[in-house]
Amino acid sequence: MTSMSGHDSLRRRSALAAASALVTAVALAACGAPGGTTPETGGVPVSTEIGPDPVMISVRVNADQEAMWAALVEGFQADYPSVTVDLETEAFDTLQQNAPRYLASTDAPDLLRLAAPGDTVVDGLLLDLDPYAEAWGWDAFPASQLEQWTIEDNGRTKGTGTLYGLGAGFGLVGLYVNEAELAALGVEEPTTLDEFEAVLAAAHDAGKVALSGDVTYLFQGLMQSLGATETVRDWVNNVEGADLDVPAAVEAAETLTRWHEEGYLASDAATTDAGTAFGRFLEGGSVFFAHGSWFAGGVDQAGGGPYGFTILPPEEAGAPVATMSASNSMVIPANAEHPNEAAAFLDWIQRDVGRQVIVDVGGLAPGGLGDLDTSALTDRPVFAATLATFERVSADDGIVDFLGNATAAMTSATLVPQSQLLLGGRISPEEFVATLQADYEASQR
């Protein structure tokens, strides 16, 4: 009996607790919307003069580039002895996930690596860099260097408007080529898409995995090779009414599916992470590896080869070439305590010593102006090839941002799962392209 009544009272009590929790929850829910605190901006007058008083700025970047940033910080501190840089690093994905909260924090860093604007401009989290661009002369840089972070008042459309970010070096996507394997096949380097497919077939017939890498990059690369560069550019730049659902996109998806079905790609191409695919390429596991120029340093250091770097050829030989490229973009939070010092660092990275560090340590194409001394790159042939490719594509105005940077969730919520569904034969090329467009429009609302 006692134990029964004990249970009864326990049940009554837990019911009471649940009810009161619910009441509290509803009461709290009713007490106003969360969020909405816009950071104060413009507290610090814009200046390029850095005084003699000691200042500490905090810089938060991705851990995989720690060596490059350490070298940049060292050089900058030598030129600006009153400024100390507190460098914090974390894994790239984590940093991008946490970025909005860092930016909104009252204790925001002074400089932060942000891959894509997302909602940050809409939410007023970024400092307007136009005054600094004028003061430091960044507005004289080639438009292609500034375009991806020049954003309209709606906070979405890129290409015109206010400058919110500046690159610390540029990376581009291309094709790493195992030249030894290519020579063994007895084929020339392809100059058209059809020739490229013939090489893939030849490699497959020789019992090789022809092509590995990021399939979402391959899809975009194919679209651009098929002449849809401007469609992609408008789409990524969030231009009003941009539509990816064009014949070239469907053809690109069809081509990728065909390559997969023919066995030119590894059977698990759509789910393999970049590191694994890269490792296989270096072991001779594939003839081509489609990925970013940030792997060039690793290729140059690896044995075997020789290796080369190029991009997907266009449909017609000699047609303009295009590929995807993004800057190692840095932003200054609206909440930053020392924006002037942060801007001075950003500027230093675009000048002499900074540019050289970007090249020598970062393995990236530098921003800013002027010719580059590439004489020291003779023992880094693949990296030198990425720089040459960058120049070649820039000359054709073929540099476009990544599809994945179009919206905050495009890579993880759409491109990756949908490309897996496409190569898994679960959706048609038409459905693939339509879903990309539908998800894009859903996030524009």
Partner 1 sequence: MSTPPARRGRRSRVALRGRPALRRLPALLWLLPAAIAYATFVLYPLTQTVRYSLYDWNGIGQAVWVGAANYVTVVTDPTLYESLVHTIVLIVFFSFVPITAGLVAATFIRDARSVRAAGAARTILFLPQIVPLAAAAIAWTWLYADDGLINGVLRAVGAGGLARPWLADFDTALPAVGLVGSWAMVGFCTVLFLAGIGRIDASLYEAARLDGASGVQEFFAVTLPGLRHEILVCATVTLIGAIASFDLVYMMTGGGPGFSTMVPGVQIVRLAFTEGRVGLASALAVVLLVIVLLVVLPLQRLGRER
Which of 50, 72, 83, 104 binds partner 1 (CB under 8 A)? It is 104
Part in contact with partner 1 (CB under 8 A); list of ranges 65-73, 116-124, 238-246, 397-405: 116-124
Q: How far is the CB of 290 from partner 1 (least distance, A)?
A: 18
- In this complex, which beta carbon is closest to partner 1, that of residue 35 or of residue 303? 35
The residue within the footprint of partner 1, chosen from 122, 143, 184, 317 (CB under 8 A), is 122
Residue 101 Cβ vs partner 1, minimum distance, rounded to whole Å: 7
Interface with partner 1 (CB under 8 A), residue from 406, 418, 432, 440: 418
Instruction: Tell me the one-letter amino acid at 42.
Output: G
Nearest in space to 323 (alpha carbons), one of 273, 391, 371, 238: 391
Displacement of CA 186 from its chain's centroid (Å):
36
Contact between 173 and 325 (Cβ < 8 Å): yes
- Is 416 near partner 1 (CB under 8 A)? yes
Residues with Cβ within 8 Å of residue 142, at least 6 apart in sequence: 369, 394
Q: Within 161-180, which residues bind partner 1 (CB under 8 A)?
A: none
Residue 119 · residue 36 · CB < 8 Å: no
Q: Which pair of tokens denotes residue 58?
A: 């905090």
Distances in Å between the Cα of 249 and the Cα atoms of 326, 420, 428, 431 are 21, 16, 12, 11
Contact call for residues 306 and 381 (beta carbons, < 8 A): yes
Write out the two tokens for 335: 């909440």
Give yes or no for a contact between 167 and 390, defined as CB atoms under 8 angstroms apart. no
If one asks whether residue 300 binds partner 1 (CB under 8 A), the answer comes out as: no
Q: Which residues of 10-31 are buried (b: 16+ CB within 10 A; e: fewer)?
A: eeeeeeeeeeeeeeeeeeeeee
Examine residue 35 and tell whether it contacts partner 1 (CB under 8 A).
Answer: yes
Does 333 bind partner 1 (CB under 8 A)? Our answer is: no
Confirm or reject binding of residue 268 to partner 1 (CB under 8 A).
Answer: yes
- Two tokens, residue 445: 């609302």
Instruction: Assess 444 for contact with partner 1 (CB under 8 A).
Output: no
Residues 184-223 that bind partner 1 (CB under 8 A): none
- Residue from 426, 430, 438, 441 binding partner 1 (CB under 8 A): 426
Contact window for partner 1 (CB under 8 A) among 54-62, 230-238, 246-254, 410-418? 410-418
Q: Which residues of the shown chain bind partner 1 in the complex (CB under 8 A)?
A: 7, 21, 24-26, 28-29, 33-36, 97-98, 100-101, 103-104, 118-119, 122-123, 125, 266-268, 270-272, 276, 408-409, 412-413, 416-418, 420-421, 424, 426
